[in-house]
A = this chain, B = another copy of it.
Amino acid sequence: MMKTQKGENPTSKTKKPLILVTNDDGVDARGLRALADVAREFGRVVVVAPSSAQSGKSHAITFTSPLRLRRIYKEKDFEIYKANNTPVDAMKLAMNALLKDQKIDLLISGINHGSNSSSSVFYSGTMAAAIEGCLNRIPSIGFSLASYKFDASFDAAKIVARKIIKETMANKLPLHICLNVNIPNVSIDEIKGYRITRQSLNHWQECLDERIDPIGNPYYWLTGELVELDKKRDTDEWALKNNYVSINPVHIDLTAHDYMKTMKTWNFKK
């Protein structure tokens, strides 16, 4: 199972912080193990992760079929559970059943295999789990490594995650704000530093790969690439491309507050 980190425990309180760990790549993913390893340096760790890969499942929840939760590993201060279906289902099971009467001090999600910058925040199951934590007033962070390669190294990402968890626990996040952390796929020496970024306002341009099945009917594979219209230097995309760790504070209020005033001039008299 997962290796125990031998680093010193940064908390000196008698009661260890409770850290909930999840991801969207599924309970067997290497990125989850990397993140759980780091989490164990900071407190008691409960991993609740989807039993299968759930990339692109966003904030989907399941209420038309039953949810399941099963413990697959236990040792002192470290347990692993697998859950169906989606990452947010897993978090709902964790927060409202398994850990119902316990205070969760931190929720961390990842380390995702692939970046979640720009508009990917809408599709990402990794970030949906963090946002779900944030909605439930738990300090929450999503971590993603900008590599889709099967054998990507999580070594640098673990060092980054450790630093960001430490800073988050020290500074505390305000209500309604969580973090979307994207880590460039380079060695720790090549990482130039940390940037507080905004979400770049780009979107995915889909290319639907049309094929014909053996019966003669068309079907489509969904593929796409990011259309980069927002090229400024304060974005998550710019940071990643230039080998900086991107830390994007994400809030759960989608209201376009500035536009509310303009809209009040529209004619909605009955």
Residues of A with Cβ closer than 8 Å to B? 53, 55-64, 66-69, 86, 88-89, 92-93, 95-97, 119, 121-123, 128, 131-132, 135-137, 163-164, 167, 171, 174, 176-177, 180, 191, 193-194, 196-199, 201, 203-208, 210-211, 213, 217-223, 245, 247-257, 259-260, 263-264, 266-270
Contact = CB atoms under 8 A, between A and B. Distances in A.
A46 to B, nearest CB: 16
B255 A248 contact: yes
Contacts of A269: 193
A121 B221 CA distance: 27
A55 to B, nearest CB: 8
A92 B222 contact: yes
Nearest to A92: B206
8 contacts: A58-B58, A58-B59, A58-B61, A62-B222, A88-B123, A122-B135, A167-B267, A251-B256
A190 to B, nearest CB: 12
B123 A59 contact: yes
Interface centre among A55, A164, A208 (most CB of B within 10 A): A208
A204 B246 CA distance: 30
Given A67-B222, A249-B260, A208 B97 contact: yes
Chief secondary structure at chain A's binding surface: mixed
Nearest to A180: B254
A143 B205 CA distance: 25
B208 A67 contact: yes
Given A96-B207, A196-B263, A177 B67 contact: no
A2 to B, nearest CB: 25
Contacts of A180: 254
A86 B222 CA distance: 12
A128 B93 contact: no
B198 A257 contact: yes
Given A92-B222, A136-B203, 14 more contacts: A56-B61, A57-B60, A58-B60, A59-B59, A68-B218, A119-B135, A167-B266, A176-B201, A176-B256, A180-B254, A199-B255, A249-B255, A249-B256, A251-B256
A270 B245 CA distance: 11
A88 B57 CA distance: 11
B256 A220 contact: no
Contacts of A135: 119, 122, 203-204
A68 B219 contact: yes
A82 to B, nearest CB: 13
Given A259-B249, A266-B167, A254 B121 contact: yes
